[in-house]
């Protein structure tokens, strides 16, 4: 039974955890950057743009000020980093602070997963509504947030997949950070930070994590984890990010069976 459940859930479950990874923030204006500038003003404060610790601190602030957001999240998940060992998926994300999130899978390496809904509203459980029922299990059930069936192919658990957890990882003692310069992710200019040691004690074979922080909002909009041979085993990226859209609490309630019947 457990193997059947795992097979039915594998592939899409990585997607459910990226919602909190892309928290929005209050609308603000950022002074345009010039390649020769070493500092800029952000919300009336001066920061050194080539200082990774200050950039991460500002990213924390943006996360904490966020109310809600929607977006499209893409995930590349691999156990080995080999080109033929990648599970790709996309999902619509709805997120509200304090942490509430809903994920609707729109694209998956396994087409049977498309249409699956996942809701997390805090606490120990994640609610799942599969697009296709699993024999003897059905469509709707809950799992512990730390359940291995909610983890990546390398076992990174659900609580470690959101951006709050990522910011904790790169902020902890002993992590080495390097500012790599400016980049572009999904058409948005970013600050790129390379970190070593952020996965220590979580996945010791992952030696490097690269974070891209959006220059306008100071939110992380892409993170990527690498093995020692520079093979990427996890990349989470967001597009079509819309901040503070006024999401209601009922957004984070799975449809009842009556509503499901009406949708057929």
Query: What is the reported pLDDT for 48?
Result: 64
Evaluate if residue 36 carries a pLDDT over 60: no
Indicate the CATH number for domain 2-28+55-252.
2.50.20.10
The whole-model pTM stands at 0.80
- When pLDDT is averaged across residues 33-51 and rounded to a whole number, the result is 50
β-pairing, 117-120 vs 206-214, is unpaired
Residue 227 CA to residue 219 CA, distance in Å, equals: 25
Report residue 2's pLDDT band, with 50, 70 and 90 as the boundaries: very low
- Model pLDDT for residues 186-195, shown as the tens digit of each residue: 999 999 999 9
Question: How far from 102 is each of 26, 80, 83, CA to CA, in Å?
Answer: 21, 29, 30
Evaluate if residue 118 carries a pLDDT over 70: yes
For CA atoms 148, 152, 157, 162, give the dihedral sign: negative
Residue 83 CA to residue 220 CA, distance in Å, equals: 25
Which residue reads 């069976």 in tokens? 257
């Amino acid at each position: 039974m457990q193997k059947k459940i795992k097979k039915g859930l594998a592939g899409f479950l990585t997607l459910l955890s990226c919602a909190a990874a892309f928290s929005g923030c209050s609308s603000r204006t950022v002074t345009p950057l010039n390649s020769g500038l070493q500092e800029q003003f952000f919300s009336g404060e001066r920061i050194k743009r080539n200082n990774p610790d200050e950039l991460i601190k500002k990213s924390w602030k943006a996360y904490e000020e966020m109310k809600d957001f929607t977006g499209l999240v893409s995930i590349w998940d691999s156990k080995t980093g080999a080109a033929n060992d990648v599970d790709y998926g996309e999902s619509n994300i709805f997120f509200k602070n304090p942490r509430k999130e809903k994920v609707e899978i729109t694209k998956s390496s396994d087409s049977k997963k498309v249409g699956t809904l996942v809701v997390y509203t805090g606490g120990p459980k994640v609610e799942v509504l599969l697009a296709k029922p699993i024999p003897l299990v059905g469509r709707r059930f809950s799992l512990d947030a730390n359940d291995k069936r909610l983890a990546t192919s390398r076992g990174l658990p659900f609580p470690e997949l959101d951006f709050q957890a990522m910011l904790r990882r790169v902020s902890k003692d002993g992590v080495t950070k390097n500012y790599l310069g400016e980049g572009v992710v999904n058409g948005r200019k970013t600050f790129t930070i390379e970190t070593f040691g952020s996965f220590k004690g979580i996945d010791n074979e992952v030696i490097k994590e690269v974070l891209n922080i959006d220059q306008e909002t100071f939110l992380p909009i892409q993170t990527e984890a690498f093995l020692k041979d520079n093979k990427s085993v996890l990349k989470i990226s967001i597009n079509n990010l819309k901040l503070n859209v006024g999401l209601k609490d009922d957004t984070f309630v799975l449809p009842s069976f009556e509503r499901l019947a009406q949708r057929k």
